[in-house]
Copies of this chain bind each other. A is one copy, B any other.
Amino acid sequence: LAVTIIDIARDSNTSKSTVSRYLNGGSVKPATAQAIEASVKKLNYHPNVNARRLVTSKSHAIGVVLEDISNTYFSEVLAGIQSVVTNSGYVCTFYSRASNSSKESDYLSLFNGGHIDGLILGTFQKRIEQEVAKLAKMDYPIVLIGDNCGNKKIDCVDVDNEDGTLEEVEYLHSMGHRRIAYLRGPEMISGARTRAQGFIEGMHRHGLKADIIVDTEWTVEGGYAAAMQVLRHQDVTAIICSNEYCAYGAISACQESGRTVPDDISIVAFDDGTLARYSVPSITTVKQPFKSVGETAANHLVNLMKSGSQAKTRILLQSHLVIRSSSGAAPAGPR
């Protein structure tokens, strides 16, 4: 039924292998090339990828496993991966982790049956050292997004959470803020700890005490409750929220306790800004380069698949402070 390389060979008066060679960019006589080209068009020939995959033992497919695909962050990451991978002649097979409570190492088996040539594992959850070790062990082409537990034997791409928060502190300091509180995110999210470190580091650089740190879930309600606690400190003029959602809660808390944002209290958050841009007030955020994370991971993976094992790196991508209307100069005068 399907037209094969043999049909082309017959139609163009050559052999299977010549056709194959031509199709794969080998050198053939111009005349033969034209004849083959003509037959391909005429018979509407399309190479069978699966035969090709079988004989070359390369699937030209990469697997992508992301925590939760309906999340905006991940969809941007996926978009980044997709564009790079396509340009390198790979297809992108998607495996969701949402349903089953599978471990990331379960996906290693995809390398066996010829399913994939490379794998991108993406989560912003904290990883387990053992799991990461398992992933690193076989030395397959794998790139991690997010946490790598400090494992030097596996490639990893992440957002520079510490530096992003550092930038927030710098900004607020430059605006005259001295008493800055921090809403720290859940321990299970790998970035939450790093962000908090950035806060502490930033405060110390300016000789300020990083003593108002309240833990919170990354939810509106959590942010509200945490901010309420923070606001008991009458001298606080700025709150750094480790996440966008809890920033909404923090704003509500400010409003309810009679503080104006940004006149009395400046609020800054950390995230992608899809929401932050449109809220009232719009929220100053550190925008994470999610698409770039995907692109970088994919580029790295493609190199890995081409050149085999390489020195492993951990790439930290710069995020960017976007100043909006939830933050401003510290209120003047003695408090």
Contact = CB atoms under 8 A, between A and B. Distances in A.
Interface of A: 2, 44, 46-51, 53-54, 57, 59, 61, 68-72, 74-76, 78-79, 82-83, 86-87, 91-96, 98-99, 109, 112-115, 220, 245, 248, 251, 274-275, 278-280, 291
8 contacts: A44-B112, A49-B114, A50-B54, A82-B96, A86-B95, A86-B96, A245-B278, A251-B280
Nearest to A111: B46
Contacts of A92: 93-94
A99 B78 contact: no
B47 A220 contact: no
A69 B294 CA distance: 12
Contact of A113 (B46, B54, B95, B248): B46
Contacts of A61: 93
A7 B109 CA distance: 18
Given A2-B112, A114-B48, A79 B98 contact: yes
Contact of A83 (B48, B87, B99): B99
- Counting every copy of the chain, the complex holds 2
A201 to B, nearest CB: 30
A275 B109 CA distance: 39
Nearest to A245: B278
A46 B109 contact: yes
A115 B92 CA distance: 12
- Which are the 4 A-B pairs with shortest beta-carbon distances? A75-B75, A46-B112, A50-B53, A70-B79
A87 B280 CA distance: 42
A127 B59 CA distance: 33
Given A61-B93, A279-B278, A279-B279, A69 B46 contact: no
Contact of A74 (B75, B83, B93, B245): B75
Contacts of A112: 2, 44, 46
Given A46-B109, A86-B95, 13 more contacts: A49-B113, A49-B114, A54-B54, A71-B75, A74-B75, A75-B78, A82-B96, A82-B98, A91-B93, A91-B94, A245-B278, A275-B279, A280-B280
Contacts of A99: 83, 86-87
A274 to B, nearest CB: 7
Contacts of A248: 278
A100 to B, nearest CB: 9
Residue in A53, A87, A251 with the greatest tally of chain B CB atoms within 10 Å: A53
A49 B115 contact: yes
Contacts of A47: 113
A61 B53 CA distance: 14
A109 B44 CA distance: 10
